[in-house]
């Protein structure tokens, strides 16, 4: 009964099958990204087309102008996402920015935006840099024990680093996951990593297929005990900070300021308004804890995935790696060898920025973003394309297929940082490069994520040459049967010491 949605509206669509809709990629053991890419190619002359995610009709926006119209200009009709996390799971989940809806989301986003501005990131950078430096030193010592010949699994080292950064910047806790992989942060991180396994994919699909059955079966995405321990730790740390006036520039500190009403609202560019006073609102413990958890929920897997693919591309493109190292050496000469990298120096690294952007284009950690229609909507491009979207209908923005469309990126499988050089950047369209999503509901943590990734690359490349083990397949392919960006086979890295 659900499968006549597009026919009724005269929208071209992919033929669905009972129950699975158009999700055949699961049965064919294909990667979701490749399947969606094929479907968008099949409909390349259509600005929109339909598919069925199980029984849910999805309008796929296959054109940058329509994407901008719906996600930016007409955002007030599409303020929400479809939920994969059930807010009824706990009050913390209900208060995650990713999950919140409508007015409540808007209010929370406005309250949190001052935390993620450039000026706050500048202060937090010292903590990120300490983690990067410590991590590279640990690897140097470990690698030396094996005469520089040890193979490291890229995902393993990148998740350990990401975990330490989150522990330090979000939770105010110094961990060293390389030396002590049993610490509580890494354990929680590991339970998040399970998201990328076929077993968890089945659970997530079940949550999508039938939230009621999933609740009955008690499906949960995280280790409950670990999550409870975290809760206690955060509440206690915030209380201790309030008493001690500790000025460690981390999220806990910023949340304590928010709670006291010391932070002013900012506009989209992070500028404080002169006329408006500080944000005043009552914060519950659940709300405060949720904001720390957001780093884990939204920033752990995404950042480590980007790091994995960036190191992979640098290893298979030695000329690009060399050019990036030259830029790093220039910075080191300016700052003095052994001196930690500064916020301004990392922000000024043009080639680093190009490399990271190209890694985000080719391997976007988020393959799609979605929007739920919250107010009936009528689209008319005045050139013959008209369609209606009603409250509760779902639209997808196909990030991966757009990033791999030769119309926007000639020779899309080539890793070419020049696509993002100063000259090309001028003509960039925000709806053809969307690693952090698009519009008012885009990624709030993008500045933080970029700093985290660039910092580790800086410290690692100043010590090692990245090479791949012979078992790592080139070109890398995406793992089938999971919804997400992960390599099919582990990426094994050799870190050849520069000083040997």
Question: Quick one: which segment of 144-152, 176-184, 402-410, 431-439 binds ligand HEM (CB under 6 A)?
Answer: 431-439
Spell out, one character per residue from 103 to 132, where the chain touches ligand HEM: x when CB under 6 A holds, - when not: ------x-----------------------
| Closest CB to ligand HEM among residues 123, 498 | 123
Question: Quick one: which segment of 29-37, 308-316, 384-392, 437-445 binds ligand HEM (CB under 6 A)?
Answer: 437-445
| Closest CB to ligand HEM among residues 136, 443 | 443
User: Is-contact 272 110, C-beta < 8 A?
Assistant: no
- The Cα–Cα gap between 439 and 268 comes to 10
| Residues paired with residue 13 on neighbouring β-strands, in sequence order | 50
Helices (DSSP H) in 363-488: which residue ranges? 399-403, 422-426, 446-461
| Residues paired with residue 487 on neighbouring β-strands, in sequence order | 478
Nearest to 20 by CA among 39, 40, 2: 2
- The Cα–Cα gap between 295 and 310 comes to 21
Count CB atoms within 10 A of the CB of residue 353.
18
- The Cα–Cα gap between 394 and 385 comes to 19
Cβ-based neighbours of 171, under 8 Å, separated by 6 or more? 185, 230, 233, 234, 237, 250, 251, 252, 292
Minimum Å distance from CB 117 to ligand HEM? 13
Site for ligand HEM in 268-307 (CB under 6 A): 294-295, 298-299, 302-303, 306
Minimum Å distance from CB 218 to ligand HEM? 26
For 429, what's the count of Cα atoms within 13 Å in the CB-facing half-sphere? 13
| Closest CB to ligand HEM among residues 221, 465 | 221
Nearest to 153 by CA among 483, 500, 486, 499: 486
Minimum Å distance from CB 336 to ligand HEM? 30
Minimum Å distance from CB 338 to ligand HEM? 28
Spell out, one character per residue from 326 to 365, where the chain touches ligand HEM: x when CB under 6 A holds, - when not: ---------------------------------------x
Count CB atoms within 10 A of the CB of residue 457.
26
Q: State the binding site.
A: 443
Site for ligand HEM in 384-413 (CB under 6 A): none
Minimum Å distance from CB 185 to ligand HEM? 15
User: Does 310 engage in binding with ligand HEM (CB under 6 A)?
Assistant: no
| Closest CB to ligand HEM among residues 447, 494 | 447
Helices (DSSP H) in 170-197: which residue ranges? 184-193
Minimum Å distance from CB 207 to ligand HEM? 19
| Closest CB to ligand HEM among residues 16, 445 | 445
Single residue of 64, 398, 437, 487 touching ligand HEM by CB under 6 A: 437
Single residue of 369, 402, 431, 486 touching ligand HEM by CB under 6 A: 369
Q: State the binding site for heme.
A: 443
Cβ-based neighbours of 76, under 8 Å, separated by 6 or more? 374, 375
Residue in the structure block whose two tokens are 């339970």: 191
User: Is-contact 252 237, C-beta < 8 A?
Assistant: yes
Single residue of 252, 438, 476, 495 touching ligand HEM by CB under 6 A: 438
User: Is-contact 78 373, C-beta < 8 A?
Assistant: yes
Number of residues that bind ligand HEM (CB under 6 A): 24
Single residue of 32, 222, 343, 436 touching ligand HEM by CB under 6 A: 436
Site for ligand HEM in 440-459 (CB under 6 A): 441-445, 448-449
- The Cα–Cα gap between 138 and 495 comes to 12
User: Is-contact 145 151, C-beta < 8 A?
Assistant: no
| Closest CB to ligand HEM among residues 16, 299 | 299
Nearest to 460 by CA among 158, 179, 151, 125: 158
| Closest CB to ligand HEM among residues 143, 191 | 191
Site for ligand HEM in 62-101 (CB under 6 A): 97-98
Minimum Å distance from CB 137 to ligand HEM? 23
- The Cα–Cα gap between 295 and 301 comes to 10
Residue burial 181-209, b: 16+ Cβ < 10 Å; e: rest: bebebbbbbebbbebbeeebbebbbebbb
| Closest CB to ligand HEM among residues 374, 469 | 374
| Closest CB to ligand HEM among residues 443, 476 | 443
Minimum Å distance from CB 239 to ligand HEM? 23
The site for ligand HEM (CB under 6 A) is made up of: 97-98, 109, 294-295, 298-299, 302-303, 306, 365-366, 369, 435-438, 441-445, 448-449
């Amino acid at each position: 009964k659900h499968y006549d949605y597009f026919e009724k509206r005269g929208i071209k669509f992919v033929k669905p099958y009972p129950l699975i809709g158009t999700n055949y990629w699961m049965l064919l053991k294909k990667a979701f990204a490749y399947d969606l890419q094929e479907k968008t190619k099949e409909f390349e002359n259509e600005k929109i087309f339909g598919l069925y995610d199980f029984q849910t009709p999805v309008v796929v926006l296959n054109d940058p102008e329509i994407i901008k119209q719906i996600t930016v200009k007409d955002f007030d009709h599409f303020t929400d996402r479809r939920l994969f996390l059930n807010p009824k799971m706990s009050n913390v989940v209900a208060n995650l920015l990713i999950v919140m809806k409508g007015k409540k989301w808007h209010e929370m986003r406005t309250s949190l935006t001052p935390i993620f501005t450039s000026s706050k990131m500048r202060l937090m950078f010292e903590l990120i840099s300490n983690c990067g430096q410590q991590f590279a030193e640990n690897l140097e010592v470990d690698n030396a024990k094996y005469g520089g010949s040890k193979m490291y699994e890229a995902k393993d080292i990148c998740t350990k680093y990401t975990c330490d950064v989150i522990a330090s910047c979000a939770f105010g806790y110094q961990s060293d996951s390389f030396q002590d992989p049993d610490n509580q942060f890494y354990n929680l991180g590991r339970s998040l990593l399970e998201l990328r396994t076929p077993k968890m994919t089945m659970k997530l699909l079940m949550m999508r297929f039938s939230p009621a059955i999933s609740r009955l079966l008690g499906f949960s995405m995280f280790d409950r005990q670990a999550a409870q321990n975290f809760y206690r730790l955060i509440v206690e740390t915030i209380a201790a900070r309030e008493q001690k006036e500790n000025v460690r520039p981390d999220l806990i500190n910023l949340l304590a300021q928010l709670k006291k009403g010391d932070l002013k609202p900012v506009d989209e560019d992070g500028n404080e308004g002169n006329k408006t006073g500080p944000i005043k609102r009552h914060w519950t413990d659940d709300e405060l804890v949720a904001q720390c958890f957001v780093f884990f929920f939204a920033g752990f897997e995404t950042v480590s995935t980007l790091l994995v693919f960036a190191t992979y591309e640098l290893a298979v493109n030695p000329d690009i790696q060399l050019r990036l190292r030259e830029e790093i050496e220039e910075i080191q000469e300016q700052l003095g060898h052994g001196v930690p990298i500064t916020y301004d120096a990392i922000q000024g690294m043009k080639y680093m920025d190009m490399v990271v952007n190209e890694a985000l284009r080719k391997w976007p950690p988020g393959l799609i973003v979605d929007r739920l229609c919250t107010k009936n909507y009528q689209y008319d491009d005045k050139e013959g394309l008209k369609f209606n979207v009603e409250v509760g209908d779902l639209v997808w923005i196909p990030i991966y297929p757009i990033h791999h469309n030769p119309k926007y990126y000639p020779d899309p499988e080539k890793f070419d940082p020049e696509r993002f050089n100063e000259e090309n950047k001028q003509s960039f369209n925000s709806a053809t490069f969307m690693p952090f999503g698009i519009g008012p509901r885009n990624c709030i943590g993008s500045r933080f994520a970029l700093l985290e990734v660039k910092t580790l690359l800086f410290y690692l490349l100043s010590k090692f040459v990245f090479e791949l083990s012979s078992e790592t397949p080139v070109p890398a392919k995406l793992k089938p049967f999971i919804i997400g960006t992960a390599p099919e086979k582990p990426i094994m890295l050799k870190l050849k010491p520069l000083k040997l």
